[in-house]
Amino acid sequence: MSKIIVTVDQEKCIGCNTCPLIDPETFEMDENTYKAKVKKQPETQTEAVKTAETSCPVGAISITEEK
């Protein structure tokens, strides 16, 4: 499986805290901005990271495959 890159669009994120609840290995909240950020890039596309992406209410999470 190819490597993926997860990003959180800081402009779009409304700090709802959903993604760190779904996938705490990948996401965490930034204590200063109250927005989510990537804590650790997952090695592969896990169910958790996919669920977090689709659960974000504002579509701030992107998963792209590394070329």
Applying CB under 6 A, which residues contact ligand SF4? 8, 13-19, 35-36, 56-58, 60-61
CB of 41 to ligand SF4, least distance (A): 15
Q: Where are the alpha helices (DSSP H) in 1-67?
A: 18-22, 47-55
**Nearest to residue 41, comparing CAs of 59, 23, 29?**
23
Q: Minimum distance from CB of 1 to ligand SF4 (Å)?
A: 23
Q: Is 66 in contact with 45 (CB distance < 8 Å)?
A: no
Nearer to ligand SF4, 1 or 31 (CB): 31
Closer to ligand SF4 by Cβ: residue 5 or 58: 58
